[in-house]
Structure 1
Amino acid sequence: MRLWVVLDEAALHRNVGGAAVMHAQLQHLVAMAELPRVAVQVLRTSSGAHPGMLGSFTILKFPESTDPGVVYPEHRTGSLYLEEPWELKEHEIAFQHLQGLALGPSDSLSLLADAVEGLS
């Protein structure tokens, strides 16, 4: 299994739960980003408009060639699972654009570590 996350920089600064909670969450992000099968990229606020502005989404891919994958866009009123090949392709393209706009995993890890230090 592999996890690849593109995280908006604003999430690093939006204080939810107080300083202690934010500190613990950021420390956990750093620990997860250091795992070999996890990649975390931070999309800087200065990147401007980007494909993720329409909302968060998760792409689930499976090892079976007969199962092309599922997209789960997050929204307020319930669950939605997109399974049409064109829907999956559209979200894969959007994710590739987000990956290209975001800092690389190494620079993102440094930014996360700086955010943890800023709360210490």
Structure 2
Amino acid sequence: MQTDAHKIQDIYNNVISNSEDYYSIAYNEAKGINDSVLRKEIINILKISSDNYSLKVQKIKDLKHKINQNRQYIYSYYNAFKIRKTLPEIEKYQNANPLKTDSLNGFINKQNKLIEEIKILK
């Protein structure tokens, strides 16, 4: 599902990016036209075309946003599902492998004896 969402969005991202690049480059080139009347005319038609394209693209951007939202919901619900399913298993594991303090207490006692012996050596 995630891979499909990325593939679909990549297709639209590519088209949108290419179009936005075109308008940016064309506008910069139009600013370099020497004839002021022609320059204004070209910039005006670029603006109209760009504005129309922006209106078309806004719907696509809204839909892409919805896809991202849905991906986040799916991921969140899936994580909640995994936790609910695995929690009983980890609890069974913990009960089957209880943590006993005997060996730790024994080691601390050995450390304490060594500390006392070192103190005597002063």
Greater helix fraction, Structure 1 or Structure 2: 2
Same topology, TM > 0.5: no
TM-score (norm 1): 0.29
TM-score (norm 2): 0.29
Q: Larger Rg: 1 or 2?
A: 2
Structure having greater relative contact order (Cα 8 Å, sep ≥ 6): 1
